[in-house]
Structure 1
Amino acid sequence: MKKLMLFFLFSSIISVICAQPIKIMLVTGGHSFDTVQFFQLFDQMDEVDYEHFAQPEANKAIADGRGEDFDVMVFYDMWDEISSDQKAAYLKLTKQGKPFLFLHHALVSYQKWPAFEDIIGGRYIEENKNIPEDEWSEYEHDVWVYCSIENYTPVTAGFRELRFFDEVYGNIRISDDVKPLLQTRHPKSAEYVAWENRYNASTIVYIQPGHDKRTYENEDYRKLLFQAIRYLNTFNK
C-alpha cells in the first residue's frame, strides 16, 4: 500500500513537471488597440506563456528563425511590409506544421502577397484604384454581432451562441476550402466570422471578432481564444 501511494505521488509530481505552458509568439503592429486590456487577456490564461513582438521586429524575428521556438503563432497585427526572406520564413513554418491563430484585423495584412490569403483562408480587400470598387471590403463599428456555431470542434466546444459588441467586416473573400466555425446573419457582415484552414502542413484558425476591450473582457471571447490556442497546440510538431 505504501509503495502504491509513493508511485501515485511520484506520477503526480512528474505530471506537474511535464505540464509545460503553451508558448505563443504574440504579434501586434500596424493598428491601434486597447493595449492594457489586450495583454491582460493573455496574462489571465494560466496555461499560456507568451512573448510579445511588435512589427516590424516580429517579421525580422520570424526571418531569423524565432518562430520555431514557439508552440503557436498568434497574430493581431495589420501589416503590409514583408521581404522575400520573411515570406520564405512564413512558408517554411507552414511546411513544418507550425499552427497559426489570426485575430481580427490580421485579415487585412499583406495585400500584395497572394500566398498570405491562402494561409489565412481569406482577405479583407482594402480600397485600391487597381481593384474594382465592388470588390472593396467594408467595416461597421459598434454593432451587436450574434454568432451561431457552424461546426462543433474543440474551438467552439461548450457554446450555443456567442454575442459581441464589436466590429464586422463585409464583402470579404473567404476560401471555399475553409471549415466555417462561427456564422452570423448581421446584414453588414460576411456570413462567417471564424474558420479553420489548412495550408501545407499547418492548421490555421481565424477569429474575426476582437476589435477592442469590450470584446477582450467578454468571458466567452476569452474562452474561445483559449480553446483555439489549446486546440492548435495539439498540432505543434
Structure 2
Amino acid sequence: MIKSVLLTIICSFAIGVLAQPVKVMLVTGGHSYDTLQFSQLFDGMTEIEYEHIEQPEANNKIANGGADEFDVLVFYDMWNTISPEQKAAYIRLTKQGKPFLFLHHALASYQNWKAYEELLGGRYVEQNKNINEEEWSEYEHDVWVYCTVENFTPVTAGFRELRFFDEVYSNIRISDKVKPLLRTRHPKSTDFVAWENKFNASTIVYIQAGHDKRTYENEEYQKLLSQAIQYLNTFNN
C-alpha cells in the first residue's frame, strides 16, 4: 500500500514537472514586422511562457545576467549595436549550454562580429563598400517557398514537405559544420533554409521563414517553431 502511494506521488510529481511551460525570452528590434500577428503566434503556444523584450533592452538584460532565468532564447531581431560586455555575455551563455532559436532576419544581425556568425551558423551579408559585391546577399519578397526535410529530427518531425508564402535569401554564408534541416529548390534562394548548429556547449536552430503574418498564421510554421522550442528545451541546463 505504501509503495503504491509513493509511486502515485512520484508519478504526479513527474507529470507536474513535464507540464511546466518552457520559459522563453523573445527578442525583437531593428526590423519592422506584423506585431499583432507575431504576438498571437507566441500567445498560441500553450506549452511556453514568454517575455517579449525589444532591443537594446534585450542585450542589456543579457549582459546583466537576466537571460539565465529563461530556458530558450528566441531572436527575431536585426540588430548591430553590441558592446564588448554584451558580446562576452552571449559567449558565456553558450559556454553554459543555453539553447538559441534564431528566426528570419536575425541572420543579418551584428555584421562586424565574427563570433555571431559562428554561433548562428551563417550570415546574411549586407551591402558594404568594404566587402566585394559578389559576396553581398540578396532577398526576394512574396514568393512561394516549397521545402523538403533534409534531416529528420525532433524539429522536423511529422513533416516531409512544407510550403510558405514568404521571403527568400540568396548568396548567404552557411557554415559547413551545420546540420541542414530544410531544403528548398527555389531559384532565388540558398538551398538550405533551416539548420541546427553547435557552438561551445549550446545547441542552436535557425529557421529562415517568418517574414510576415502570412507565415505566422501558417499552421505548419506554428508547428515547426513549437517543435524547435521544445527540442531546444531538452538541452537547457
TM-score tier after normalising by the smaller chain length = over 0.9
What is the CA distance between 1:212 and its match in structure 2? 0.4
Q: Distance in 1 between matches of 2:61 and 2:83?
A: 12
Match of 2:226 in 1: 226
Whether 1:78 aligns to 2:104 is no
Q: How many pairs align?
A: 236
Distance in 2, Cα, partners of 1:55 & 1:181: 28
For residue 178 of structure 2, what is the aligned residue in structure 1? 178
* TM-score normalised according to structure 2 size: 0.96
- C-alpha displacement of 1:148: 0.3
* 3-state SS in 2 of match to 1:205: strand
In the aligned structure 2, how far is the partner of 1:135 from the partner of 1:45? 38
Q: In 1, distance between residues paired with 2:167 and 2:178?
A: 22
Deviations 1:85-137, CA, capped at 9 Å, x for gaps = 00000000000000000000000000000000000000000000000111100
Q: Give the match for residue 37 of structure 1.
A: 37
- Shift of the alpha carbon at 1:10? 3.8
What is residue 59 of structure 1 aligned with on the other side? Answer: 59
Determine the structure 1 residue equivalent to 2:213: 213
Structure-1 separation of matches of 2:93 and 2:171: 30
CA deviations 1:21-79 (Å, max 9, x no partner) are 10010000000001111111111111100011100000000000011110000000000
1:96 aligned residue: 96
Quick one: which amino acid aligns to residue 234 of structure 1?
T
1:197 alignment partner AA? N
Report how far residue 3 of structure 1 moved.
8.3
TM-score if structure 1 supplies the norm length?
Answer: 0.96
Q: How does 1:1-237 map to 2 (within 5 A)?
A: 4=4, 10-11=9-10, 13-18=12-17, 19-237=19-237
Deviation at 1:20, TM superposition (A): 1.3
What displacement does 1:17 show? Answer: 3.1
The one-letter amino acid paired with 1:70 is F
What is the SS of the residue equivalent to 1:60? helix
Q: Offset at 1:15? A: 3.6
Secondary structure, aligned partner of 2:42: helix
Q: Give structure 2 stretches of 5+ with no counterpart.
A: none
Greater alpha carbon shift after TM alignment, 7-16 vs 69-78: 7-16
Q: Deviations over 1:119-177 (max 9, x none)?
A: 00000000000001111000000000000000000000000100000000000000000
Q: Distance in 1 between matches of 2:167 and 2:175?
A: 21
In structure 2, C-alpha distance between the alignment counterparts of 1:183 and 1:144, rounded to whole Å: 13
Distance 1:221 1:188 in 2: 21
